[in-house]
Chains A and B, each alone.
Chain A
Amino acid sequence: MRKASPKTTAPARAADPALQSLFDVHEATLPNGLQVRLLANHLAPVVSLYTFFNVGSRNERPGITGISHLFEHMMFNGAKKYGPKMFDKTLESNGGSSNAYTSHDMTVYYDDFASDALETVLDLESDRMRSLRISQEMLTSEREVVKEERSVRMDNDIGGMMGEELDSLVYKAHAYRWPVIGWLADIEAITREDCQAFFRTYYAPNNAMLYIAGDIDPKKTLALVRRYYGDIPRGPAPLPVINAEPEQRGERRATVRHPAQSPAVMIGYRGPPARDEDTLALDVAQYVLTKGEGSRLTRSMVYEQKVVVGVGLDWGWRIDPGTVLFFLELKPGADPQKAEASLYTELEKLARDGITDRELQKALNNLRSDHLRELGTNNGRAHAMGNYEALLGDWRHVLTLPSAYAAVTSEQVKAAVAKYLLPERRSVVTLLPAPSAES
């Protein structure tokens, strides 16, 4: 498994001057392997704390798909010192709130809180990392909650249904082929023992990174972190994740029939891993194609040709090769083939002629603006540091990303599009409206 190993991939680019002064980060590694990053900001009496665990659906196997996400829920259901219901109760009554999410690659927890609650939050967080209690009763009840979540996100949501179908087309061998929330039968089958084994391996401090940003004194905070987390034992090394994905040899297609108002199309291309240089070039391509009303696809497909009512593109960075995903939203009765053809024409044009200097500059301006905006809050700063460290191996990418983008050339963008967005590399899911069961 490609774990974040800071320093090995320290970015060579220069730090953005507007950011350098904001990121006076204190770093430490505890003897048990826990990585700690602390960032002071005294603008408001609040703090955000993020814990990143290097585990997601990527680390699962058939039979227990969805365990990373189900487990994320279980982390709120009681540990040795703070029992059932006490995590949220203690946190909220001290002026804090928390949430978490699970992705293909990582599981991420955060707390936003009044700065005088810092020690309480460290007590709460270290308690559950050290000694989570997984009771059968809690597991049974939480499983029902997750089933409702799956139902609302996947079974009663068109985007969810189509995405689930697409992932299993784009990936044949890699764990990215199943939904993060897991298959229903697997969610029902996960046992308490599965959860305990999962906890011992993936929630050990040597598999975790802690980020604290806000109204803190870094020195005192580090002493507190050592006191609360220092005695948590290391865990066994997680099993490596093998990427056995074979080369794709031609277009793949699937159809979803559902009583919907309009057809829709979702198209995915397997891209590079996040650490690949091409990732940045594809970010630029994404901005040229769909960022803003004046972007190529919005202007051409929505406003000029009127073949879709909406077009979206999501290029999500992942540890292993992720998906460049297009979503075409149509109007009732519209022709999905026509919409698809229009998209492919634009992609061919991009692969053939590349982008203009002005388009490149516009994309860079927007990438920088969005990056700065993301860093406007403590929560955004802590999350960004963790996200880049988890995906790229170093939080410093927060500082250098704008200059890394600035080094991307039009040639690279053209080459990346020509390399990844090829007809024989695509997977297509078409939603066709079907009459409702009862009508």
Chain B
Amino acid sequence: MASRKKSRTPKSSPRRAAKKPAARATKAAPRKSASRKAAPVTSSASRALVFPTLHESTTSSGLRVVAAERGPLPMVSMRLVIRAGSATDLAGKHGIADFAGRLLRRGTRRLSAEAIDEAVEFVGASLGVGVGEDTLSVAITTPAEHFAQMLGIMGQLVKEPSFPESEVLDARERALAQFANDLDEPSVIADRALVQALWGNHPYGHDVSGSAKTVATFTRDDVVRFHHERMGPKVAMLVVVGAVDPKRVAAAAEEAFAGWTGGPDAPLVIPPLAKVAKAGKVIVVDKPDQTQSQVRMGGPGYRTGHEDYFPSTAMNVALGGGFTSRLMNEVRVNRGLTYGIGCWFDAMNAAGIFALSTFTKTESTREIIDVSLAEIAKMRDSGIKPGELRDAQAYMGGLYPLRTETNESIASSIADIRLNGLGDDWVMNFRDRLRAVTPKQVAAVAKKYCFAEPPAIVVLGKADAVKKQLRGLGPISVVQASEYE
């Protein structure tokens, strides 16, 4: 299919690739789609939201459990979130969290990989392991009647994975093949280059999956060490949402996670970002077969739970979030330069960034950069009009309740709230807090985040043709795409 935005259905192209081009997403175990959570969006409809009551308990092994009963579908979604993301990768072993995460289901003390697959998949449940910068999550969605059995399997995966040697070797082979094949995905390589350009040596500065260079060194011992040192009940939380009585959740969790030990007593401390590594510099990633350039730009943002969140989010909708954003209007609608452009704040537990992503035909590379930078500068210098802010607030406020529609989205909100200390009233009061944002507050965050310092710029494309277009944007360095394998 074909379409105006980025499609949900692979075969159609949607009318527009609006949503922020998947930056650094929580990675699903099969390293393919990196779907970021949708930007929190909110409502002019003032009716109160329905959010389930949270029931808390702690297992004897010290795992915190949050349960919420919710119908009407006979399904349950459970999510075990461990503060063992890629920022906690062992020294010299970038990608080990993601690698270990993928191996969890390849065998435990009691079950072979085949037995795990069969147990989960036979009943129509689905199991996924996702690793992001901050967390490693094991998620299972299951028909409600099989919930306790599925929780039991989840417990085994984290308590007693066996990491068979042959599975480690095979996984390494597959990962290396994937790194090679990623070189054929222009947007993936451009995203990777941006991450490095922004974060440099910071713990958030490498791809969640690491690189071919680091993964090639992985051994079973590395995986065992990561599991033992980083994954444990004290830095984890279990969230269960769906058609199940919270009392049963507490009892089943006790049984599933009894005796789980290991991991640190408290989450590892990740430092803030001192400075954007390549601020003011231009990185050209050479891929001579391209007829388009992938363009990325970025600068500093803020961490989760920061007071700038609401004004920044409102600003971002007006600048490059929605379909009527300034960037979309100038770059796509008025000039036809691209199919998709967007900007976003990526807030993680310790720090965050503000970035822009788009693409255009090789000849228009400089034009699209100049038009984008001009729009961002305009926002920085003049802020937002009251009407524009009202529109952004109505847009996000109206759509925010969509985030309370599914068990999965509620479980993920609960995990976010708890891990990042957002407060249990976060969902219920989101729309009020958004509505309270003033143009003055937006102007203040615009001054701060809209590239007050020159951004790091990444262009992936035909270096020969784009290099001369980029003069004057900052010192240019050309790197081969293979550097990002």
Q: Judging by beta carbons under 8 Å apart, are A314 and B178 in contact?
A: no
Interface residues as binary, A358-379 with B (CB distance below 8 Å gives 1, 0 otherwise): 1001100111111011011111
Contacts of A93 in B (CB 8 A): 324, 390-391, 394-395
Contacts of B62 in A (CB 8 A): none
A367 to B143 alpha-carbon distance, docked (Å)? 12
Partner of A369, one of B143, B329, B337: B143
Interface residues as binary, A30-52 with B (CB distance below 8 Å gives 1, 0 otherwise): 00000000000001111000000
Task: Decide if B272 is an interface residue (CB 8 Å cutoff).
Answer: no
The verdict on A21 contacting B73 (CB below 8 Å), with A95-B398, A148-B337, A331-B180 known, is no
Interface residues as binary, B173-193 with A (CB distance below 8 Å gives 1, 0 otherwise): 110111011011010000000
Q: Judging by beta carbons under 8 Å apart, are A99 and B16 in contact?
A: yes
Task: Decide if A83 is an interface residue (CB 8 Å cutoff).
Answer: no
Q: Judging by beta carbons under 8 Å apart, are B395 and A97 in contact?
A: yes
A144 to B368 alpha-carbon distance, docked (Å)? 14
A110 to B118 alpha-carbon distance, docked (Å)? 38
A306 to B172 alpha-carbon distance, docked (Å)? 12
Q: In chain B, what residue has the closest Cβ to A180?
A: B2
Partner of B332, one of A95, A145, A358: A145
Interface residues as binary, B64-108 with A (CB distance below 8 Å gives 1, 0 otherwise): 000000001111000000000000000000000000000001000
The range of chain B's interface size is 35 or more
Q: Judging by beta carbons under 8 Å apart, are A145 and B336 in contact?
A: yes
Q: Judging by beta carbons under 8 Å apart, are A303 and B44 in contact?
A: no
Task: Decide if A261 is an interface residue (CB 8 Å cutoff).
Answer: yes
A430 to B181 alpha-carbon distance, docked (Å)? 16
Contacts of B5 in A (CB 8 A): 99-100
Contacts of B290 in A (CB 8 A): 156
Partner of B12, one of A103, A259, A437: A103
Task: Decide if B472 is an interface residue (CB 8 Å cutoff).
Answer: no
Say how far A259's CB is from chain B's closest CB, in angstroms: 5
Q: Judging by beta carbons under 8 Å apart, are B177 and A69 in contact?
A: no
Task: Decide if A92 is an interface residue (CB 8 Å cutoff).
Answer: yes
Contacts of A104 in B (CB 8 A): 1
Interface residues as binary, A339-355 with B (CB distance below 8 Å gives 1, 0 otherwise): 00000000000000000
Task: Decide if B441 is an interface residue (CB 8 Å cutoff).
Answer: no
Contacts of B113 in A (CB 8 A): 293, 303
Contacts of B178 in A (CB 8 A): 309
Say how far B370's CB is from chain A's closest CB, in angstroms: 17
Say how far B176's CB is from chain A's closest CB, in angstroms: 8
Task: Decide if B471 is an interface residue (CB 8 Å cutoff).
Answer: no
Among B8, B43, B337, the most chain A Cβ lie within 10 Å of the Cβ of B43
Q: Judging by beta carbons under 8 Å apart, are A378 and B117 in contact?
A: no
Q: Judging by beta carbons under 8 Å apart, are B322 and A369 in contact?
A: no
Task: Decide if B425 is an interface residue (CB 8 Å cutoff).
Answer: no
- In chain A between 383 and 439, which residues have their CB closer than 8 angstroms to a CB of chain B? 436-439
Q: Judging by beta carbons under 8 Å apart, are A73 and B336 in contact?
A: no
Interface residues as binary, B1-41 with A (CB distance below 8 Å gives 1, 0 otherwise): 11111011111111111100000000000100000000001
Task: Decide if B452 is an interface residue (CB 8 Å cutoff).
Answer: no
Task: Decide if B436 is an interface residue (CB 8 Å cutoff).
Answer: no
The verdict on A101 contacting B1 (CB below 8 Å), with A46-B402, A148-B337 known, is yes
Say how far B123's CB is from chain A's closest CB, in angstroms: 6
Partner of B117, one of A98, A294, A377: A294
Q: In chain A, what residue has the closest Cβ to B397?
A: A95
Task: Decide if A243 is an interface residue (CB 8 Å cutoff).
Answer: no
- In chain B between 293 and 325, which residues have their CB closer than 8 angstroms to a CB of chain A? 322-324
The verdict on A261 contacting B292 (CB below 8 Å), with A101-B1, A372-B74 known, is no
Q: Judging by beta carbons under 8 Å apart, are B118 and A294 in contact?
A: yes
Task: Decide if B289 is an interface residue (CB 8 Å cutoff).
Answer: yes
Task: Decide if B209 is an interface residue (CB 8 Å cutoff).
Answer: no
CB < 8 Å A-B pair total: 281
Chain A interface helix/strand/loop/mixed: mixed
Partner of A156, one of B2, B42, B170, B291: B291
Say how far B458's CB is from chain A's closest CB, in angstroms: 17
The verdict on A102 contacting B3 (CB below 8 Å), with A46-B401, A148-B359, A149-B339 known, is yes
Q: Judging by beta carbons under 8 Å apart, are A95 and B292 in contact?
A: no
Say how far A214's CB is from chain B's closest CB, in angstroms: 10
Q: Judging by beta carbons under 8 Å apart, are B289 and A22 in contact?
A: no
- In chain B between 44 and 76, which residues have their CB closer than 8 angstroms to a CB of chain A? 44-45, 47, 49-50, 72-75
Say how far B461's CB is from chain A's closest CB, in angstroms: 10
Partner of B73, one of A102, A361, A372: A372
Q: Judging by beta carbons under 8 Å apart, are A310 and B30 in contact?
A: yes
Q: Judging by beta carbons under 8 Å apart, are B338 and A145 in contact?
A: yes
Contacts of A98 in B (CB 8 A): 323
Q: Judging by beta carbons under 8 Å apart, are A152 and B15 in contact?
A: no
A236 to B133 alpha-carbon distance, docked (Å)? 56
Q: Judging by beta carbons under 8 Å apart, are B292 and A366 in contact?
A: no
- In chain B between 335 and 381, which residues have their CB closer than 8 angstroms to a CB of chain A? 335-339, 359-361
Task: Decide if A25 is an interface residue (CB 8 Å cutoff).
Answer: no
The verdict on A375 contacting B332 (CB below 8 Å), with A44-B404, A149-B339, A310-B30 known, is no
Q: Judging by beta carbons under 8 Å apart, are B292 and A148 in contact?
A: yes
- In chain A between 282 and 318, which residues have their CB closer than 8 angstroms to a CB of chain B? 291-295, 299, 302-303, 306, 309-310, 314, 316
Task: Decide if B265 is an interface residue (CB 8 Å cutoff).
Answer: no
Q: In chain A, what residue has the closest Cβ to B167?
A: A303
**16 further A-B pairs in the complex, CB-CB below 8 A; given A44-B49, A113-B398, A149-B17:** A45-B45, A101-B3, A114-B43, A114-B397, A117-B44, A141-B333, A143-B336, A180-B13, A181-B2, A293-B113, A294-B117, A331-B173, A331-B176, A367-B124, A369-B125, A438-B288
10 tightest Cβ-Cβ pairs between the two chains A and B: A95-B398, A144-B336, A294-B117, A114-B398, A331-B177, A365-B124, A101-B3, A369-B124, A93-B391, A101-B12
Q: What are 14 sample pairs from A and B whose C-beta atoms fall under 8 A apart?
A: A92-B391, A93-B391, A95-B43, A95-B44, A113-B399, A114-B44, A259-B289, A291-B121, A303-B113, A332-B181, A368-B124, A372-B75, A373-B75, A438-B288
Binding site for B on A (CB under 8 A): 18, 21-22, 43-46, 56, 66, 69, 72-73, 76, 85, 88-89, 92-104, 112-117, 140-146, 148-149, 151-153, 155-156, 158, 179-182, 215, 258-262, 291-295, 299, 302-303, 306, 309-310, 314, 316, 329-332, 358, 361-362, 365-370, 372-373, 375-379, 436-439
Binding site for A on B (CB under 8 A): 1-5, 7-18, 30, 41-45, 47, 49-50, 72-75, 105, 113-114, 117-118, 120-126, 141-143, 170, 173-174, 176-178, 180-181, 183-184, 186, 288-292, 322-324, 329, 332-339, 359-361, 390-391, 394-395, 397-399, 401-402, 404-408, 464
